[in-house]
């Protein structure tokens, strides 16, 4: 029962979504402390977090959808995340 829940795509998506949010805040805090510039911290955290989210979703959540090229998947992900609009 627990193994079935762990393998569920929705549960994995929820877990990695929370992990991505935590990653964003920690990364933004660290960059803000290092640069003392909240604008740079927010921008860098946004870019790095979107790349992190793409990686973990591709690797751990949607493991059966690797038939298209990595470039196509990345561009599609960036457009969907509104980074390339």
Q: What is the pLDDT of residue 39?
A: 96
Q: What is the pLDDT along the chain (85 residues), one digit of tens a residue?
A: 667 666 777 888 899 999 999 999 999 999 999 999 999 999 999 999 988 998 888 888 776 666 667 777 777 777 776 665 4
Q: What is the pLDDT of residue 46?
A: 92
Task: List CB contacts of 34: < 8 A, sequence separation 6 or more.
Answer: none
Q: Helices (DSSP H) in the chain: which residue ranges?
A: 2-7, 9-35, 38-56, 70-80
62: nearest Cα among 3, 1, 2, 8: 8
pTM for the whole structure: 0.73
């Amino acid at each position: 029962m627990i193994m079935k829940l762990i393998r569920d795509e929705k549960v994995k998506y929820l877990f990695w979504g929370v992990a991505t949010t935590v990653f964003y805040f920690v990364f933004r805090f660290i960059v803000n402390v290092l640069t003392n510039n909240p604008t740079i911290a927010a921008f860098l955290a946004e870019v790095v977090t979107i790349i992190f989210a793409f990686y973990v979703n591709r690797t751990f959540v949607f493991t059966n959808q690797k038939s298209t090229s990595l470039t196509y998947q990345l561009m599609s992900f960036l457009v969907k995340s509104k980074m390339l609009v």
